[in-house]
Amino acid sequence: VKVVTAIFGFLLVALSASAQSFQMRAGTSTLMDSSGASVKIYAPHSVMDFGVGVAQGQFVFGVSDSFHWRDYDVTAGDSQLGFSLDNAGLGVAIRGLSVKRTGEHQSFGLFAGSTNLTYGTPYFSGVRKMQHLGIGTFFKHRFSNGLTSSSLLAVEGGKHSAIESLKFERLRFSLSGAGGLLAGKTFTNLQISAHPLKPLRFSGVHQDLWEAAHVSANSASAFLNFRRLDFNAAIFSGRTVGETVGIEFHAEWIDARFNYYKTTTNSVNMIFGERIGRRTRVTETFSLSNGGNDLSIGGSYEGRHFSVSVGHQTVFLPFAVSGQSAFHQVLTVSLRLQLPHNSSLNIESLMLPDGKVRHTVYGDTWAYRNVDNSSSPSHKALQRYSIEGNVVEPDGQIVVGAAIRIGKETVFSDSHGHFSLRFSKPIAVIAKAIPEEFLVGTWAVISTPVTVTAALEESVKKIQIVVRKAQ
Amino acid sequence: MYKTWILAVFVLISVSASAQQLAPPVLELSVKRNIGRGAVLLGNNAVIPQTVTLEAVGFTVSEMGGASSQPLDPSITVNFSETSFRMPPKSQHQIDYDVICPKVPCHVQIQANFHGLRTTNGIAVVIRLISFVYLVQREALRVEDVQIQKEIQGLVITNRSEKYGRVEATLRYVDGTERVEGFPLFPGAIRKVTFEKPGYGILKFPKGSFDSRKQ
């Protein structure tokens, strides 16, 4: 009762806000043994997500509110956090508070709350079981000499993570190393990569992990692109030793992929895809291995009003019979119907190796409220004073869709990289680029003026903001 | 039972949505001096917010009527009340603008680029809508200002004046069908009107008209 009251409380607060779009999803699945529904609310300053359902006989719910506060991205409620530090990563599902800030040279993250077992489907997600209290922090700093330092400290239910990573990048070469405790297990890794020519790349990785015993793993790989052909090769050594060689061919109407895998057994995979017209694609997969040969044929049609695909997939079945592999090849049929009024219906069916058929059915629609449907549109008069400028990359290339905050307003650069904002008087305001709000891509600011003054049309001086693409 | 309810609720809840809008598609401003003041109305009928950038560019129209964009003539200035802004779902926004030309008539194209939700990778889809703006002299284009040549396939209209005018062409065919089209006629420009079938044409100018049967 408390949970339902809390969700309705959140919904009431959310619904009192103005100009909202609602994305609603509902569905049921005999494959995942669950049914549920969710509502995502896009408000002017935040995105709220509510999900509720029954999974394997257990009540599951999820609530979150994500918003921007000053320079921070804040999520209150349920969130899935992922921290990546050069070949090592930590994923945490948390019910609490997470805060993130991404700057030109520094990134910072902090989370605190209960760590959970989560449940996710295409139509709702939520927390199945709250496990432990967890707290953690992440910090990344990029130095001007090409060195990047990252740190992660986290405690989750008695499992400690403390990782430090250093990465050096210069021209066509990078070297990185990381080490520490990852969920209570000691590890180290070292990675080196080089691309002496644009279409040619080499990389090597060495990893050590101390669980009950010391485990060491090494890998080396190479990649070459020549016109429509991609070649790749890799060798692995660890608990098992393996080699792979592959070649891919891509053309407008046809593509082909050949892969050879050698571990304790040898296997060859060949995949051919043909495009028939703009909407239809047919694929043939040949698998040759010591256990036998297999041919599977699939196809898909992507239409304006419906899409359908039939094929064979290797899927992970978490509730497979003990002692048998959880990976099985199954026949899949999926259908997506585009309904009127921005709605869609999805039906997915799987035929399992034992002949049983499992279905997943879910729908998706949009609604809105408190939006401005009045006959009088919003309007701002033409003012005499203006601030104008351009956004460019260091080599002078224009940047389209760059977000610039001038005083309290946010403006965007047009297809010539130009932006402007008008004022009724010659006031001085703070102007800065906001990379996290750029319309496309990930960017970092190199130079931006601090204070600018609005001037008359004939005497306005254009300011210049320089940004670069961030990795 | 609850599964049925969930699906029933989904089926019952649906909303309408259509595309983005820019109006008017064509605006002719009759001006005394070389400044024209106008406004465009933008509409976001989508259920997601849109970020809009506005730009003014130049354009030319070929003899067959095809319009193609080109950089704005540096001697022409266009001032917008706002050049970029966010539009909430289902909202309308009006933008005022001034067009300052060295001489009248002149013309510009206003482009409104609608960007959807931001993306850090993949393809960013931009919807571009266009409004054509003409600054027109007070004195109307007369039929005497143009030279009209009859050809087997149609009519060739040559504007011998420094005036701009909009022409309405009605093409009537021998099988009883007709086609009506309107087009701008720029100072010194040539425009061809093609007959798809045997027939005749009537051209209406701001002052006067021309009937190809009487020539």
pLDDT of residue A3: 52
In this predicted structure, the answer to whether residue B157 has a pLDDT above a threshold of 50 is: yes
Task: Find the range with the poorest average confidence among A33-47, A312-326, A389-403, A438-452.
Answer: A312-326
pLDDT of residue A27: 95
- Residues 395..424 of A with a Cβ closer than 8 Å to B: which? 401, 410-416, 418-422
Distance CA(B165)–CA(B159), nearest Å, equals 9
**What one-letter code names the amino acid at B69?**
S
Task: Find the range with the poorest average confidence among A19-23, A384-388, A457-461.
Answer: A19-23
Nearest to A353 by CA among A300, A323, A318, A315: A315
| pLDDT over 90, % of chain B | 60
State the Cα angle at A301 between A300 and A302, rounded to 5°: 120
Judge: A366–B115 Cβ closer than 8 Å, yes or no: no
- Residues 447..466 of A with a Cβ closer than 8 Å to B: which? 457
In this predicted structure, the answer to whether residue A101 has a pLDDT above a threshold of 50 is: yes
Residues of chain A positioned with their CB less than 8 A from the CB of B98: 382
Distance from CA of B185 to the nearest CA of A (A): 29
Output phi, psi for A310, to 5 deg: -130, 135
Judge: A373–B90 Cβ closer than 8 Å, yes or no: yes
The average confidence (pLDDT) of chain B is: 86
Residues of chain B positioned with their CB less than 8 A from the CB of A419: 83-84
Greater confidence (A18 vs A333) lies with A333
- Closest by Cβ to B120, choosing from A44, A361, A441: A441
pLDDT of residue B36: 92
pLDDT digits over A118-136, tens only? 888 889 988 877 778 889 9
**What one-letter code names the amino acid at B122?**
G
Contact by Cβ (8 Å): B57, B71: yes
A27: nearest CA partner in chain B: B7
Residues of chain A positioned with their CB less than 8 A from the CB of B48: 21, 42
| pLDDT over 70, % of chain B | 89
pLDDT digits over A154-174, tens only? 888 778 889 999 999 887 899
Task: Find the range with the poorest average confidence among A112-116, A368-372, A417-421.
Answer: A368-372
pLDDT of residue A93: 85
Distance from CA of A368 to the nearest CA of B (A): 7
Indicate the pLDDT class of residue A102, thresholds 50, 70 and 90: confident
Residues of chain B positioned with their CB less than 8 A from the CB of A27: 6-7
pLDDT digits over A44-82, tens only? 678 889 999 999 888 999 999 988 887 788 999 998 888
The average confidence (pLDDT) of chain A is: 84
A341: nearest CA partner in chain B: B16
Greater confidence (A21 vs A194) lies with A194
pLDDT of residue A403: 92
The reply to whether A443 touches chain B by the CB within 8 Å rule is no
pLDDT of residue B7: 39
SS3 B9: helix
Distance CA(A224)–CA(A228), nearest Å, equals 11
Distance from CA of A58 to the nearest CA of B (A): 14
pLDDT digits over B57-110, tens only? 999 999 998 888 999 999 999 999 999 998 887 788 899 999 999 999 999 999
Nearest to B70 by CA among B54, B90, B50, B56: B56
Residues of chain A positioned with their CB less than 8 A from the CB of B13: 24, 365, 367
- Contacts across the A-B interface (CB distance below 8 Å): 147
In this predicted structure, the answer to whether residue B18 has a pLDDT above a threshold of 50 is: no
Indicate the pLDDT class of residue A387, thresholds 50, 70 and 90: very high
ipTM over 0.85: no
* Residue B95: CA count within 13 A, CB half-sphere: 30
Cβ neighbours, 10 Å, residue B210: 18
In this predicted structure, the answer to whether residue A302 has a pLDDT above a threshold of 90 is: no
DSSP H/E element including B114: strand B106-115
Averaged pLDDT for residues A349-376 = 76
Distance from CA of A217 to the nearest CA of B (A): 32
Cβ neighbours, 10 Å, residue A358: 16
- Closest by Cβ to A367, choosing from B13, B84, B118: B13
Indicate the pLDDT class of residue B17, thresholds 50, 70 and 90: very low
pLDDT of residue B48: 78
Indicate the pLDDT class of residue A16, thresholds 50, 70 and 90: low
Contact by Cβ (8 Å): A228, A251: yes
- Closest by Cβ to B88, choosing from A372, A419, A438: A372
- The per-residue b/e assignment along A105-133, b for 16 or more CB within 10 angstroms, e otherwise, is eebbbbbebbbbebbbbebbbbbbeeeee
State the Cα angle at A294 between A291 and A296, rounded to 5°: 155
In this predicted structure, the answer to whether residue B185 has a pLDDT above a threshold of 90 is: yes
Residues of chain B positioned with their CB less than 8 A from the CB of A420: 80, 83
State the Cα angle at B63 between B59 and B69, rounded to 5°: 15
Mutate to test the interface with B, among A18, A33, A52, A341 (most CBs of B within 10 A): A341
B113: nearest CA partner in chain A: A414
pLDDT digits over A251-290, tens only? 888 999 999 988 888 889 899 999 998 789 999 988 887 7
- The per-residue b/e assignment along A427-445, b for 16 or more CB within 10 angstroms, e otherwise, is eebebebbbbbbbbbebbb
In this predicted structure, the answer to whether residue A92 has a pLDDT above a threshold of 90 is: no
- Residues 4..43 of A with a Cβ closer than 8 Å to B: which? 19, 21, 24-28, 35-37, 42
Judge: B3–A372 Cβ closer than 8 Å, yes or no: no
Indicate the pLDDT class of residue A349, thresholds 50, 70 and 90: very high
SS3 A86: coil
pLDDT of residue A467: 92
pLDDT of residue A338: 85
Cβ neighbours, 10 Å, residue B62: 12
Judge: A412–B84 Cβ closer than 8 Å, yes or no: yes
pLDDT of residue B1: 43
Residues β-bridged to residue A421: A387
Distance from CA of A281 to the nearest CA of B (A): 21
Distance CA(A387)–CA(A406), nearest Å, equals 9
Task: Find the range with the poorest average confidence among A202-211, A324-333, B143-152.
Answer: A324-333
- Residues 186..215 of A with a Cβ closer than 8 Å to B: which? none
| pLDDT over 90, % of chain A | 37
Judge: A371–B89 Cβ closer than 8 Å, yes or no: yes
pLDDT of residue A460: 87
In this predicted structure, the answer to whether residue A348 has a pLDDT above a threshold of 80 is: yes
Averaged pLDDT for residues A360-379 = 72
Distance CA(A373)–CA(B45), nearest Å, equals 10
The reply to whether A2 touches chain B by the CB within 8 Å rule is no
Helices (H), A110-173: none
pLDDT of residue A81: 83
Indicate the pLDDT class of residue A6, thresholds 50, 70 and 90: low
* Residue A273: CA count within 13 A, CB half-sphere: 17
Q: What is the 8-class DSSP label of residue B71? A: P
In this predicted structure, the answer to whether residue A456 has a pLDDT above a threshold of 80 is: yes
Residues of chain B positioned with their CB less than 8 A from the CB of A379: 93-94, 96
Distance CA(A421)–CA(B84), nearest Å, equals 8
